[in-house]
Amino acid sequence: MSATESPILTEQKDTILTITLNRPKVNAFNLEMTDALQEVLKKAQREARIRAVILTASGNVFSAGQDITEVKEAEDTSFRYHLQHTYNPLILQIRRLEKPVLAAINGAVSGAALGIVLACDLRIAAEHARFVVGFSGIGLAPDSAVSLLLPVLVGLGRAAEFTYANTPISAEQALSVGMVNQVVPASEVLNKATEWAARLAQGSQLAFGLTKRAFNRAVLGNLEQVLDYEAHLQDIAGHSEAHKEGVRAFLEKRTPRFIDYS
C-alpha cells in the first residue's frame, strides 16, 4: 500500500455506501485502519442519503483481524485500553447504525474481523471463504463481541467447538450453522450484496432502524457490558506467558507450545 493510499476505500452509488478494507495482503487491522473505519461509519450514520451499507475487502482475504506485528511492537500497552478505543466502539457503531449493514465476505476472516462481520445484519460469503475464531491460537480469549455474537448465531456448543478447536470453518459449514445468510461464487459476492442492499434501500428506514433496536434489546441487550468484560479478560490473557508464546509461534510460523505455560 502506498503512503497516500487509504486503508479504507469508499464508494457511494445512489443510496448505497460500499466500504472496502484495503490493507494488503490480508487486510489486517491497525490503528489507522480502525480509526478510518470508525470515521466512515460516522458518515453513514450522519448522512440521510445513505440507506444501506456494504462492508467488503480488497484481494482474496477479507481480514486476518488484528495486525499481530502491531501487538508485538506495543507489548506494554493495555489490551483493555486498546479494545476500548478500537473494536469495542466499532462493534457498537455497527449495531447502532439504524440502516442495514451487509458484509460481503470475499475470503478468509478471523479474530477481531470475525466479530465485525458477525455484528453486521446480513452476511454473504464467497464459496472459498473460511472463518477462524483465531484468539486461542495466540493464547487470547475472544474479543470484539465474538463471545456473544458467535453463540447467539450458532449456539453455545458450536461456539465452544469453533473457539477451542480453532480450525477453519468452511463457507458451506458456516451457512449450515447460521453464521452466514448466503454462499455464492467469489465473482458474485459483491454483486449479490449490492443487489440485496438496493432492495433494502427501498424499504422503510424507520422500520429497519426500530427493528434493529428491538433485536439489540431482545438478543444483544448486554452487548456493551460484554465488550467491557471481554476487554478485562483480554488484559489478563494479553499479559500472560501463553500469549507471548502464541505470538512468538505465529511470527516464527510454528505450532505454539502452550503446555509449557499456564
Topology at the third CATH level for domain 1-187+205-262: 2-enoyl-CoA Hydratase; Chain A, domain 1 (3.90.226)
pLDDT of 4 strictly over 80: no
| pLDDT tens figures, 54-101 | 999 999 999 999 998 776 666 677 899 999 999 999 999 999 999 999
Q: What is the pLDDT of residues 7-47, one digit of tens each?
A: 999 999 999 999 999 999 999 999 999 999 999 999 999 99
Q: What is the mean pLDDT of residues 1-7?
A: 64
Listed by start position, the domains of the chain span 1-187+205-262
At 169, is the secondary structure helix, strand, or coil?
strand
> What are the φ/ψ torsions at residue 188 (nearest 5 degrees)?
-110, -5
Across 73-82, 152-161, 185-194, 250-259, least confident range = 73-82
pLDDT tens-place string over residues 98-114? 999 999 999 999 999 99
Give the pTM.
0.94
